[in-house]
Amino acid sequence: MQTRKIGSLGVSVVGLGCNNFGWRIDADASAKVIDAAIESGITFLDTADRYGKGESEDFLGRALGSRRDQIILATKFGMEMEKGQQGASPKYIREAIEASLRRLKTDRIDLYQLHQPDPKTPIADTLGALDQLVRAGKVREIGCSNFSVAQIREAAGVAGTGGAHFVSVQNEFSLFHREPEKNGVLAEC
């Protein structure tokens, strides 16, 4: 399988999105999907804390077991899990990372992504908290999702002063959804 770079990470060109684990697919079926993906050479697995209200991360952690070091593990935070459990404040980020690490049964996240902008928290505060996680070894790289061009530029400007910076932007983009081409996000990346 070919690989590409996302920051310092070498990821397979085909990744496995685990958004259906815990919602539409139970633990046994999820494990079979993960096994087939790894056997076919896929090393990039992407999930989020809110997928299946945490079950996607839990299923993934259980299914990986001793194979954890063979894959690049990405997860996201920031969208509502339960009432009041969301955002990108430093306090919430610290809570969210510990919960994800526990569910995923790992000591680190390879790519930790802010699932959506948080208008209540200055991006400098968010990036500062994420930088602390990188320095602590809990996160290797950081990214964002569902950001506009203006939000990407704001984050890049803040990160330009030192510390961790977003190495990925995960916005919806497919043959059917071409919005990132039209709104400039693809060109900005």
pLDDT in tens, 57-116: 999 999 999 999 999 999 999 987 767 667 899 999 999 999 999 999 999 999 999 999
Residue ranges per structural domain of the chain: 3-188
Segment 127-144 mean pLDDT:
97
Q: Given this model, what pLDDT does residue 20 score?
A: 96
pLDDT > 90: what percent of the chain?
Answer: 83
Q: Tokens 């839990």 correspond to what residue? A: 58
Sheet holding 72-77, edge to edge: 15-17, 44-46, 72-77, 109-114, 139-145, 166-170
Q: Which CATH superfamily is domain 3-188 in?
A: NADP-dependent oxidoreductase domain (3.20.20.100)
Active site residue 51: yes
Q: Is 144 helix (H, G, I), strand (E, B) or coil?
A: strand
Q: Given this model, what pLDDT does residue 172 score?
A: 86
Q: Given this model, what pLDDT does residue 65 score?
A: 94
- The mean pLDDT value of the chain amounts to 94
Cβ neighbors of 71 (< 8 A, separation 6 or more) are: 38, 43, 44, 45, 64
Structure tokens at 169: 């932007």
Give the pLDDT band of residue 189 (cuts 50, 70, 90). Answer: confident
Of 21, 44, 51, 77, catalytic: 51
